[in-house]
């Protein structure tokens, strides 16, 4: 029987090797209402990473006389990588409100099928000494606390953020609805909008110059500006040449790739260059030359106009 006891003790010591549970107080002496930290430790080996530890589950009280104010999450720390030794720790912030000597009982920790118990700990709680030589004093007046507007605003937002989110969502939904309801008629209007052919616009402007006999004006610079602006606009609308944004040299370069006859290209080069001379070199052409360019411009538009379904 004695031999059997030795064998059992031997196997228990082997199973417990490397596992150790303990707890420790930061300070064991408190005054009523003061707080201290209780550290709960469990050292164990886990070479295969499969250790299943069941940790004590604490509520708001450690004992009927000791309260838990706060607690951390239990966490592991690697002590020795060679032996895969870990230390699990949890911290409990505790307090007591009655004078006395209190025993913190052993805490039970389970590793697999084995149970381990920590040591006990003693906590001494003393009262606050009262100076009885002093008389009873009146209550002190209430002091106003500085509570700035910025802090009040932050606290109000924290307390009412969900209402602000609901209101913001409603405003956003209204703006989206408003955007799409107003956009639809504009799109419909764009669809039915009549597109005036390029040659109609150009011939209207050129006929106006012809009727007003602008070529006879002494202000040849204004006349040539209106004439070439009409021609440039027509080139842009009819042949997709960005003539309104280009210099004369750039327009002449792009004319090489346009579906325009060589005769018309020669005319365009001449009128654009002569207009530049009038505007920038103070060249004054005769009335006959100005009139001839107007007629050639009208003929050019009529020859190159895009055929429409109505034949205009």
pLDDT in tens, 97-128: 999 999 999 999 999 889 999 999 999 999 87
Instruction: Give the single-character DSSP code of 99.
Output: -
More confident residue, 102 or 239: 102
> For residue range 75-96, what is the model confidence (pLDDT) as tens digits?
889 888 888 899 999 999 999 9
Three-state DSSP at 191 gives helix
How far, in Å, are 27, 31, 97, 107, 233 from residue 66 at the CA level?
Answer: 14, 13, 8, 15, 93
Share of the chain residues as helix, strand and coil, in percent rounded to the nearest 5: 45, 20, 35
pLDDT digits (tens, 9 = 90+) for 12-66: 443 445 799 999 999 999 999 899 999 999 999 988 888 889 989 888 889 999 9
Angstrom distance (rounded) from CA 124 to CA 94: 12
What are the structural domains, with CATH classification, of the chain? Answer: 18-126 (2.60.40.10), 198-304 (no CATH)
Nearest to 275 by CA among 243, 304, 239, 301: 243
Rounded Cα distance, 236 and 249, in Å: 15
Give the separation between CA 172 and CA 169, rounded to whole angstroms.
5
pLDDT in tens, 163-200: 888 998 999 999 998 888 876 555 555 555 678 888 88
Copy the structure tokens of residue 75.
């966490």
């Amino acid at each position: 029987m004695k031999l059997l006891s030795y064998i059992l003790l031997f196997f228990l010591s082997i199973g417990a090797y490397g596992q150790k549970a303990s707890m420790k107080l930061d300070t064991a002496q408190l005054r009523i209402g003061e707080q201290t930290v209780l550290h709960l430790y469990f050292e164990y080996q886990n070479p295969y990473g499969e250790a299943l530890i069941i940790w004590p589950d604490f509520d708001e009280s450690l004992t009927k006389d000791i309260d838990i104010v706060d607690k951390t999450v239990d966490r592991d720390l690697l002590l020795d990588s060679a032996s895969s030794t870990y230390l699990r720790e949890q911290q409990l912030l505790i307090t007591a409100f009655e004078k006395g000597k209190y025993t913190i009982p052993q805490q039970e920790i389970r590793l697999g099928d084995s149970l381990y118990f920590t040591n006990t700990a003693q906590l001494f709680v003393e009262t606050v000494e009262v100076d009885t030589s002093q008389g009873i004093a009146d209550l002190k007046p209430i002091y106003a606390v500085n509570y700035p507007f910025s802090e009040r605003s932050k606290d109000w937002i924290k307390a009412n953020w969900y209402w602000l989110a609901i209101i913001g969502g409603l405003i956003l939904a209204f703006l989206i609805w408003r955007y799409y309801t107003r956009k639809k008629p504009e799109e419909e209007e764009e669809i039915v909008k009549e597109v005036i052919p390029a040659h109609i616009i150009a011939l209207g402007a050129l006929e106006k110059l012809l009727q007003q006999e602008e070529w006879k004006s002494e202000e040849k610079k204004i006349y040539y500006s209106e004439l070439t602006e009409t021609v440039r606009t027509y080139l842009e609308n009819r042949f997709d040449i960005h003539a309104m944004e280009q210099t004369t040299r750039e327009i002449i370069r792009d004319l090489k790739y346009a579906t325009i006859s060589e005769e018309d290209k020669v005319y365009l080069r001449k009128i654009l260059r002569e207009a530049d001379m009038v505007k920038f070199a103070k060249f004054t052409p005769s009335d006959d030359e100005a009139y001839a360019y107007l007629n050639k411009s009208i003929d050019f538009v009529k020859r190159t106009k895009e055929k429409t379904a109505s034949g205009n």
